[in-house]
Amino acid sequence: MRFSTALFHAKNATLLVLLWAGSLWAYPQLPDAMPGHFDLLGQVSYFTGTTLARWLLMPMLGLLLTAMLYGIAHLMRRFPGTMHVPDPATFQHLTPDRRAVVTHLMQDVVYGIAALVLLVLTVLQVGIYSVAIHEASVLPVYTRTVLWISVPLLAALGPVMVWGVHHTTQRLYQEQTESGQRP
């Protein structure tokens, strides 16, 4: 396993454990009512009764999304020919070891997306806890900041990923062509 991949796995596992352990630790301290919904500015739209199922919504969502993203990454490794890459003809002309480099790059991006999603869900859960405990009517500034920064970050990640995969594929193909290797 590559170091970058192992690092993503460690970060994602840590974030998932923190989200679950922190949520389970915080649950007994919650009041009878907790925020049920927030508007785009972080204002509480309404409060709802505190139940374990409602409180564990973010950890469950984090686990589900992480499992889906890891499943996608696994399928990338298992069936690299079915991935949608920029410049698929060049990708198909790469030797298997060079295709694996591109595949690992795409997997690391997916693992990075999982890390960002888990971070956002964890910060949101902390914000919900803070609003419930302090009987506030708006999410804390740090929570709103993380939420608002994550949207353009995720939006920018797509074009950066496409550029990175295209650039890497072209570089590997050029190296392969210069060395005279065939797929």
Q: pLDDT, tens digit, for every residue of 33-76?
A: 999 999 989 999 999 999 999 999 999 999 999 999 999 999 98
Q: 129-171, pLDDT tens digit by residue?
A: 999 999 999 999 999 999 999 989 888 888 888 898 899 999 9
Q: 86-103, pLDDT tens digit by residue?
A: 888 898 899 999 999 999
Q: Locate the domains of the chain by residue range.
A: 3-179
Distance CA(115)–CA(132), nearest Å, equals: 26
Determine the 3-state secondary structure of 5 from DSSP.
Answer: helix
Q: Cβ distance 30 to 50 under 8 Å? A: yes
- Going by pLDDT thresholds of 50, 70 and 90, the confidence category of residue 84 is confident
User: What one-letter code names the amino acid at 54?
Assistant: R
Distance CA(53)–CA(45), nearest Å, equals: 20
DSSP secondary structure, 18-81, as one string: HHHHHHHHHGGG--SEEEEEE-TTSBEEEEEE--HHHHTHHHHHHHHHHHHHHHHHHHHHH-GG
